[in-house]
Chains A and B, each alone.
Chain A
């Protein structure tokens, strides 16, 4: 809550980004260091609201005013304690969360909101730097065994909570490294991956067993898990990408974003790939105007694409908060991500009609048309045009969890939206099988995944023990 008059005295300030020209030559995080004192000044802008909308704007309900106050008062240790009380991984959200808290910040009604996200990141990094973040193994073990399937933020959060409650937790991951989308979906320039390793180390010390390359339902039989564990928690994410069913979709050079992005992260991690989808020297077109699309934009720049174009079927949002989404709602408005600063073209109200290719089956052209507003997206007569395209990346969102394999084998019910259905206590239709994260609520934010993981952990603890101390 900082200083009573802080918001009147100081203006919003964020760490600056490295110059675009410099940063597109590497995959390191883009932000310059930000002095501790400057963070404290920013925290002083927090107004000690009677009704802090920020922490209901925040899915994990971070008690933002309190840790802002601690930072302002140079009480960083208290700040990290308070922050960790609601969020297991503030270093993730502090980097990549779109910060609905800031959209709900009361100061945001008529002034730029408090830099909540940056304060959050500063707290956790300061705490790691000081060595304050140490494993917190449980005092007592319960002897209950829990399998968590999927090591994204939901699975990680749930595992840490359950381990701290004294349960034996095994976290299964189908990839070679843990982290799920965090690891392979988020480009390194937004979040470097040592941050995940650092947490993994802490969780290992707290008793979480990590099993990678374990694709349950594929190379790990579901039946084994049912036998060996008291509870199974599904946190497999919503990985089924939305496809674009237009003529020419089968041409070479048209990929889902999630085929493209992980490869670069692996390369950055030192892996050798036999073949990599590369934007280098190509005309790249990214279909989908969201965050994943932006990630593709940034990665394409770094791979030195010839041109980068990003499309969106929806109309261009207003520059300022739309009247349809008044404060404190998440605003409908134009967002300029760091990747957009680095170059490329963005366009809105465009629908792809078809692709055409060369004789080798490589995509060469994208045929598009301008369309009207939703829900009809009526084509504007005479607006058809075409663009050169060597690489097309589809970043149009996800339609839910992959149904084949685990979900089918377990026989859990799915809801109309294709997500795994649960009751209020995160229980699926199958006994002792729980679900959380994107797999349960559909594609969403990392912060939601953490929130889901925590709540599911609480529900599981209650289910197993009859009472729970988890929050």
Chain B
């Protein structure tokens, strides 16, 4: 590929591609001899681990070129000593020399220059260069693409200065490395900078890595096979990146860490690190400025983390200390944590924000080696220790064969915990001891007591702003309040304490196209997590979330003093007027506040706005010089001349100015503004760096509402304000969690937004680093919008004037915001399909397409280029072919009625398109009929996802995100769950159902690959599609999805419909599909992945023109939901969430369903009209075959001379960009994916089970199993389901007995009649989607450890299981039986979040559980043996369940299950319990969900109610004050 590249080897930004969006994930592991004895064996085994993790990596367009792999070992002294001798120099004793692994330009002269720089700097730092060693590498061992980009690899040997201790030497080497990096980057002689990189430079460790596949590493770096190469530790990593670009240096390990996961907050973390540089000092460095930037640009998130870790480590903190500081436990809400540990974390929280995101990080400095897990425990990490003191840790168990009898114990890394081996002490330091040591390093608690300031305790202010009712309306007008803002957004928040819910998506113009004056906030769209990291459930997993932040002057982060925590602690970021006045008057030591006015002379327009911003920045600088540490940016005192500067703009202007000036960390910025009123506003202010916000006008509005009696009876202003704050805070948590961020501190300044329609100069100056890709408005337009609002405010108001603008964003209003679906378009479309009139349809499409009067969508501003000669329409592919490319969107049976769902299915089956089940499963009666949906969706709730469901599909769609609410889960309220829906979803009628925000088996890209593999196994004939939502970087994710072997990727626009979504998400998350689709096409083509995958798009597609534009931008298939619903009678009531749909579509109320009048013919007419219109366009473009239209972006242009005050600034050249690639690179799907199914163990199983499948004859076999054998049993189960449906075979017809460590998804989707017994252990997802089979797992009979104390099976076991049973003689990982909806299981211990979201089934836990057990559980039972009482007291999340004693029936059932458990597994613990049954019995508690009780008519337990109440009030106080 001949593309310009950055210095990391990635292409430069072009079109919609931006290298910043690249993501990676992976498998990692290490092996260490705890005694610190080096051996060659350790290296050999390390490489073996790497090879056994190969399936966690990926390869790109060249199957021989991996995404990168590497290993880190101790310096192999013996080997180097021998080698260097032959090179003519002698190495000093171990520890007195360092080795640098250096990637150099291939071109000779440049290489010499680089080497020269290296040598000079080493000498300047007082060190001596011993010599260079040309590292022997074998290019034949690696792929073609890798070879072409291979750097020249050398090793440099540097001697330490006489008498220098090793730590000082390490630090010197660090300085050398930083200086060399910087000089090479700046050197004009070195052109091929992308080659240059220093993987490692240390006297302790060395890194061998490259663009390799795991098995290639030993052949490429042959010295790793040399028996003289010895190490006591070996850290390995296999990468899975979202691109196929040759990037040698982004392979892990980095210098100190390797990482599996993603740092979501990396942008904020990097910015804050940069801002902190100005106050960084350390006596350990002569000139600290040489080390800056601490985090060089263009690295990956992992590289950035490594740089931060490295810097903090080198400046004196021990490695475990650094890790605990950067990736802290969830301490904030953990009431059980002891005070010293809390103090340690809280102290460090005032130093820096967490690096947040799913992360398993392994780290080493050669002296210690360890690993830590993020607070949420979202990555797997398993380890075992052998009798001869070898520790093996990896993303999976079974990566190295170890004899069972040699295993001392097995464990897993738990959320927030650390595993550490100290090679000097020759022992594992347990997390408990480690943290205690850290906590006692300093008197952190005392420091906090003496220095931290509590807002509550500040003196009461003498005067507080009250509500000024007289000018209220005027000011509301000036800030652009609408009636709708107050009615639809604020009132529900003030009444219910949470944001209102809406439905059917959004269809209003983008802010940059709207004729109405907008608030600046509306130009921004929230980013969200998809595939490469998971969103969080902020309600059910509240314990990891935190809104606490610290205000104050940040001190030198390399130091540690009591003064560092002299900060003001805020429980949450919303300040009342009372709070703000306290803060305004604060004068405690360094804390001193001043107020800066954020107003401008409105008559001066854009120039005046700019001048006001400049002067605001200057005043901020001056205030800092004068010693102020809290700056309040205030827009109070708006009057006839002065308008408010948009609060976000005032903030970002000052923030960026101070960052550039290097003074940002010396002040906190507080916003006092009349503008913020909805969740999105607060998110933006905090996301761009505000410490707190005082929304004074919103507060006054609430008081006004209370006074006017607009709130329900009994609601006072105080109560309303409290609820409003609660709603905003809840909303903030929700928005953070969409991105997978847990704490406000990490979110602050992280800029998790994309701007749509702001021009470059505005973004560069005020929103530095925020993506904004289609240009747009500048300060002049923002000023004009301000002027419009201001004019409206300061005109006389008469009685009959509606006091505010009507709004009309969420509901259509005349004179309100424009809607694509309006009375005219809805009725025209209905008339067209009912009367079968193509002419009326054309009237409809003309109304939609003609955006000349009112701009609404990006595509509205595009034109077809008419270059080619038109062809006759008769020559164009017939409509009946084109309609096959159409699908209806995922709407679940449950969200819409049976009648509506089946009508759509019939229509699509009749015309040859596809309908989609949505996430609610499908009634089995429909499977073999015309009423079946050919696309079966697999969403996070896994409702009704059985083996039988999966095999009855033509396409399996994994819903990662939904346009209307990306990053969020869903909820089907109990009142919509009737008998039939409950049956279909395998749940209980009347019980509400929750879909978690993430798929609990997809926390990263390699997990997605695993799920795709699972589904392909169950139904190899079905294509697998992955549904994504457009956002910046979606193209990169799509490339990852292509590499994960999906057959189809769907790019949804943000405007897609929904049955229920918070209003914030409806409008403000995600971007139009035009951008997402174009980016996807460009990135897939650049990576040569486009030809492997079908691209589909959806999001308010309505007309033939929409389809044609989507095709030209790169889509080959198209999804529709809203329009087909309208053809069936939907009138955009937007009441789907209330079950009151008056036309019988989005309701389960029988009376309303009876009103459904839609017919398949209506839908069929629509799609044929649509295809007909597409044909007309094709004819006019001279295109005969639809396939020839795909990706022909050259046929699109932006409308010329758009005469609109806002739209005229837009520039679509990035959307219409066509990457320059050779013709052989496909631009549409042309080849099938290779799913690698041929290696599946199941072929053997099916072979063995032939008699059983064909004739029902019982069969039984024994087989060995390894971790590379994944998804065992699924394909076999698919075969059974195809033949026998969900009934399966009689119990125990097929029995397999395995020995070894099973790979991921062991027993997934196991059908009835199959029993899998495993002697050994297993990885994640055991029994996923279990559909009637039986799984039995116990440790090897030869093993000597105690089963109930050792980890046996991985995370997310029995996820979405519907029937069947499982017996586990050992401990399971996190999220055991998550979303279980019918399976029965016995297990001897579980990790955190056990039985989460469970809706039915039965789980017996015979040992300890982790935290947050039963969160979101709404049905079924769990019986937990709570020997210590800890479960009932702290571990169980009792917000939705009662803990009851067992009744006689329960006792019998539990005993029976334990008896069978013992029978199947031979469990000693089970046996012991049975032997002591009478004394054990009383220690069992029954976990009984409230919802389930309600439905069953069982009264809530008095005791439980009481303890609940206490717990409830505690939580309120702590988290939600």
Interface residues of A (CB under 8 A from B): 4-5, 7-8, 47-53, 55-57, 61, 63, 65-66, 75, 81-82, 84-85, 104, 106-107, 109-111, 134, 136, 138-140, 164, 326-329, 469, 471
Contact = CB atoms under 8 A, between A and B. Distances in A.
A321 B646 CA distance: 52
Nearest to A329: B827
A5 B1140 contact: yes
Contact of B1142 (A75, A107, A329): A107
Nearest to B1141: A47
B1157 A110 contact: yes
Contact of B1155 (A57, A110, A164): A110
Given A50-B504, A56-B823, A61-B814, A109 B802 contact: no
B801 A85 contact: yes
A326 B1142 contact: no
Contacts of B823: 51, 53, 56-57, 104, 328
B877 to A, nearest CB: 33
Interface string B795-834: 1101111110010001111110001011110110011001
22 contacts: A4-B1140, A47-B1133, A50-B503, A50-B812, A51-B811, A51-B1132, A52-B811, A53-B826, A56-B823, A61-B815, A75-B709, A81-B802, A84-B800, A85-B800, A106-B1142, A109-B1131, A138-B796, A326-B827, A326-B830, A326-B835, A328-B827, A329-B827
B45 interface: no
Nearest to A82: B802
Contacts of B1133: 47, 49-51, 106
B1134 interface: yes
B1131 A53 contact: yes
Contact of A81 (B710, B800, B1143, B1157): B800
Interface in B1101-1142: 1129, 1131-1135, 1138, 1140, 1142
A5 B975 CA distance: 14
Contacts of A326: 827, 830-831, 834-835
Contacts of B806: 63
Given A52-B812, A82-B802, A106-B1131, A4 B1138 contact: yes
A49 B811 CA distance: 7
A53 B1132 CA distance: 10
B1498 interface: no
Nearest to A135: B799
Contact of A47 (B799, B1140, B1157): B1140
Contacts of A51: 811-812, 819, 821-823, 826, 1131-1134
A202 to B, nearest CB: 11
Interface residues of B, number: 46
A136 B798 contact: yes
Nearest to A62: B814
A107 to B, nearest CB: 6
B1263 interface: no
B696 to A, nearest CB: 25
B123 interface: no
Contacts of A110: 1142-1143, 1155, 1157
Pairs of residues from A and B, 3 with the lowest C-beta to C-beta distance, nearest first: A50-B1134, A84-B800, A61-B814
Nearest to B814: A61
Nearest to A467: B791
A308 B1155 CA distance: 42
Nearest to A165: B798
B827 A327 contact: yes
Given A81-B802, A326-B831, A326-B834, A55 B1142 contact: no
Given A52-B813, A75-B709, 15 more contacts: A7-B1142, A48-B811, A49-B811, A53-B823, A56-B823, A63-B802, A63-B806, A66-B483, A75-B710, A81-B803, A106-B1133, A138-B798, A326-B827, A328-B827, A471-B815
Contacts of B835: 326
B1151 interface: yes
A104 B826 CA distance: 12
Residue from B503, B801, B1152 having most chain A Cβ neighbours under 10 A:
B801
Contacts of B819: 51
Contacts of B810: 50
Given A52-B811, A326-B834, A8 B802 contact: no
A64 B1133 CA distance: 15
A186 B1142 CA distance: 37
Given A51-B826, A106-B1142, A107-B1142, A164 B798 contact: yes
A104 B812 CA distance: 14
Nearest to A328: B827
Interface string B515-544: 000000000000000000000000000000
A50 B484 CA distance: 12
B796 A140 contact: yes
Interface in B736-768: none
Interface in B1254-1269: none
B1138 A55 contact: no
A256 to B, nearest CB: 37
Interface in B1350-1370: none
B831 A47 contact: no
Interface string B698-733: 000000000001100000000000000000000000
A158 to B, nearest CB: 15
A52 B823 CA distance: 8
A106 B826 CA distance: 12
Contacts of A57: 823
A85 B802 contact: yes
A48 B834 CA distance: 26
Interface string B1420-1461: 000000000000000000000000000000000000000000
Contacts of A138: 796, 798
A207 B1132 CA distance: 44
Interface string B773-808: 000000000000000000000011011111100100
Interface in B976-1009: none
A136 B800 contact: yes
A50 to B, nearest CB: 3
Contacts of A106: 1131, 1133, 1142
A57 B1149 CA distance: 29
A56 B822 CA distance: 9
Contacts of A55: 813-814
B1103 to A, nearest CB: 18
Contacts of B812: 49-52
Contacts of A61: 814-815
Contacts of B1138: 4
Contacts of B1143: 109-110
A50 B813 contact: no
A4 B1136 CA distance: 12
A56 B819 CA distance: 13
A49 B813 CA distance: 10
